Structure 1
């Protein structure tokens, strides 16, 4: 008999339960929110330099649990153990930057224009109160950095609701922050049903801001729920993508193929900014497709605990079935498979192990090319010009990232790439790079890829109130200096 009050995490690889967590009741969640409100009221009075000092201690505490954190990732979400350290190191790098810019990002901003005689004016940034972070399973540590660091350092309390697939990473955050000296109840984790998340957490008037990372339908549900509660609250939605890559005729074919394959296949394609569609200039199309397939063939699909594995299972059998249906539908519509799952012995129907798959003769009428796949599958199209590539890259309801691959030593090529970057309808453009975030740059989706911003100094604006201060410094004939 299934206990509806218990959350069970199933291993993507073994399909066996790996951990359980009790789900909070209405009264228990109400108490968590009340404790967060109380904790925020004292935390906001703590000087910023003390908050920053605690955050720096947390970096050390977090680094100390890197091995067990890697095991969590491999077991709970199926990433090859050989690749898990990258997320931990990336978390530390990203978090360190966010901590180091906090003092400047939260400093009062003097205003001198337009000048008003005898008046000083400035802008203060003050905490919102309680921030709810609804985090995903595919990069559970990295996505926490995007919102949690700035929220805490700004003086907010934070409640994390992690994806049921990966409960442990958020819990590791709480324990390491507590070891670093963070005040009680400032960072809490709650495990909730979807219904309680939407009907209670998102609608509670005491929640001042929601940061959600996940699917477009999930983002719509969160936005709708937040709007139905009493009062208004801020919201940041980091949603899906169908990210394109464009390979120009002067790109180095071998190197570019290696980079783009990695952009497609890393994390089994389960990245919001993974490359999902590729456009290649006709002059190098055949040679590029051949090189791309040869690189993809070298991947080893299998047990994520095996250090030789470099592509693991997708998150569930249901996800695998959806991915395979996209491929099947594309083939029935005229696409041709140039690398199929038969090359990978571990790939089997009815399992979560999906082999790298490459298709050509694709077009934008196919779901494979117009919707998010979230798997190790890609379609490659031939184009005749930059203009055609631009039109196809922008022909999407999504707008998260796009990448351009060209010769960086040729001024004309760089000029063309820079022109394309200004015309692309997305939040991030990569030149000879892909599938990466930099904490100094805002992470922001256009179109159905989301709203709001995370990372960079801009996220500090998102999790703070702005207060305008105007001070008359002298009133002639009324107050005299002593």
Structure 2
């Protein structure tokens, strides 16, 4: 069992202000696997004060960008040295199957770090332009200030790195609040940050609940908030930040459509949808969970998906032979099972799966991976984010109808088009109102901006655009002549 007794405040391990603790229970065994302190209001205030002092009077924002890049590179190297341990920790803590923890949790985190480091090296932190009146204008990218970062439990290190790396590279100081579902991986990250030797005050890590998160969002010492989580929470955060004109980036929910055109290779499509739709046991905002198939191929698509999903191995997330692990908590298990019953009540046909615990698993927060057939796009299981291994196959009449259905959602985070004609697939993708899409696959591209349209968020992460989210642009006009 992994136990932490201190919080990481201002670059120092510090005794917490209260005795409150977070107990981490294995989603597989339902046994206690760890414990951390729970950050409180006084801890948060101390972290913000340290970040404020480091930003206003410290060296970090004033370093040459190359020096910050070198510091983040040290962090990346230290992270890479512990990748196997970190993957196992995340699987133990929140239930991700170990294959996904190695690739999509820790592996993706390292790729994101490398991509941000490359983008920072190419960034023009200061440039000169010719002014409209004949003089020169200096355009500077300066750090936005103290950044409050609030992360979810589903991919704890990866989402953290989407925010922490660009914030540090831009020169911001950071207060990071990991969620109570994954506090162990949060403080493990603090250990690595400590090893990298960042200046005092630059980073704090405080696992805590919603109340402390709201205090961070509204704290007068914070200049920028970056949040990944539910759309409902994102609306609340946007409202709070709007009151003070605080800069905010929101990466929120999704209900992504995978459009299978009639000329798609169905075998290859279903094989690749296994990852695109069911990564992390379906606990992914980018999961392709609305499967759009023409009426002509609907039954064929359903049969192929049912065969694939029905053959997936389910169980202990630390067993490399299992593709699907448990959900993060009992409440999540109950939520997903409730949606499966809602789908049945709405008249959708269960092609495989259904409510109830998978056979042979008497403990743990498991659900049966489920495929629904003949789903109307207005159904709740087609419109609401379930965040579990549940797929809805939705029939369409023609390509125009498929595009209409794909766009008929409050969300716009991800999507995909499956076809043997890539250029035609690109034409279809251009008409989908969503922030990221893939042709014959769906994978996040770390060198390009990631984020959502509509209720899926505000702002972008990754690529040079991800760094831009943590800078303020300043123009200085030099004397004419």
Give the alignment's TM-score, normalised by structure 2: 0.91
State the partner residue of 1:53. Answer: 70
* C-alpha distance after superposition, 1:420-477 (max 9, x if no partner): 212111101211111x211211111111111111111112222111110111163xxx
Counterpart of 2:166 in structure 1 is 150
Alignment of 1:304-343 (within 5 A): 304-341=317-354
Unaligned runs of 5+ in 2: 1-17
Kindly report which structure 2 residues correspond to 1:8-23, keeping only aligned pairs within 5 A, or say none: 8-23=23-38
CA distance in 1, matches of 2:43, 2:281: 37
Which residue in 1 is equivalent to 2:462? 455
> Of residues 15, 21, 28 in structure 2, which corresponds to 1:6?
21
Please list, as runs of the form range in 1=range in 2, the aligned pairs for 1:258-297 lying within 5 A after superposition: 258-297=271-310
User: CA separation in 1, counterparts of 2:195 and 2:333?
Assistant: 39
How much has 1:195 moved relative to structure 2? Answer: 1.6
Structure 1 residue 89 corresponds to structure 2 residue 93: no
CA contact (8 A) 2:290 2:393 kept: yes
Q: Once the two structures are superposed, what CA deviation does each residue of 1:247-301 show, in whole Å capped at 9, x if it has no partner?
A: 0111001110111132222211000000111011233322222222111122111
Instruction: Give the direction of change, closer, same or farther, for the CA distance of 1:450–1:346 in structure 2 (3 Å limit).
Output: farther
| Residues 50-108 of structure 1 deviation map (CA, whole Å, 9 limit, x = unaligned) | 11111112221001111220121111110112331112121111111101211332422
SS of residue matched to 1:457: helix
Q: Shift of residue 346 of structure 1?
A: 3.8
- Contact 2:413 2:453 (C-alpha < 8 Å) held by counterparts: yes
SS in 2 for 1:258: helix
1:470 aligns with 2:477: yes
CA distance, structure 2, for counterparts of residue 343 and residue 19 of structure 1:
26
Instruction: Report the 3-state secondary structure (helix = DSSP H, G, I; strand = E; otherwise coil) of the residue aligned with 1:286.
Output: helix
Q: d(CA) in 1 for partners of 2:185 and 2:223? A: 24
Equivalent residue for 2:39, pick from 17, 24, 38: 24
Partner of 1:226: 241
Give me the whole-angstrom Cα distance separating, in 2, the residues matched to 1:197 and 1:418: 40
Distance of 1:345 and 1:263 partners within structure 2? 25
CA deviation after TM superposition for structure 1 residue 4, in Å: 8.2
SS at match of 2:36: strand
CA distance in 1, matches of 2:320, 2:422: 39
Structure 1 428/30 Cα, relative in aligned 2: closer, same or farther at 3 Å? same
Instruction: State the SS of the aligned residue for 1:439.
Output: coil
Query: For the structure 1 residues 196 and 443, does the alpha-carbon distance in structure 2 shift closer, same or farther, using more than 3 Å as the test?
Result: same
Instruction: Indicate the SS of the match to 2:340.
Output: helix
Deviation per residue, 1:24-59 (Å, 9 max, x gap) = 333332111111112223211221111111111222
Q: Whose radius of gyration is greater, 1 or 2? A: 1
Tell me the alpha carbon deviations over residues 316-339 of structure 1, each in whole angstroms, 9 at most, x when there is no partner: 222112211212122122111110
1:99 to 117, 133, 142: 117
Q: Which moved more, 1:72-81 or 1:170-179?
A: 170-179
Report how far residue 344 of structure 1 moved: 4.2
* Aligned partners of 2:310 and 2:353 also within 8 Å: no
Mapped to 1, the partners of 2:323 and 2:292 lie a distance apart of: 25
Change (3 A) 1:452 1:22: same
Q: CA shift at 1:343, angstroms? A: 10
Alpha-carbon displacement from aligned partner over 1:97-127 (angstroms, at most 9, x marks no partner):
101211332422332363x33x111210111
Instruction: Give secondary structure in 1 for the equivalent of 2:248.
Output: strand
Tell me what 2:431 maps to: 423
Equivalent residues of 1:279, 1:389 under 8 A apart: yes
| Deviation, structure 1 residue 351 | 5.3
- RMSD over aligned CA atoms reads 1.9
**TM-score (norm. length: structure 1):** 0.91
* Distance in structure 2 (CA, Å) of the matches to 1:448 and 1:352: 29
- Structure 1's unaligned 5+ residue stretches are 408-412, 475-482
1:410 is matched with which residue?
none
Aligned pairs (5 A) from 1:345-364 = 345-346=359-360, 352-364=365-377
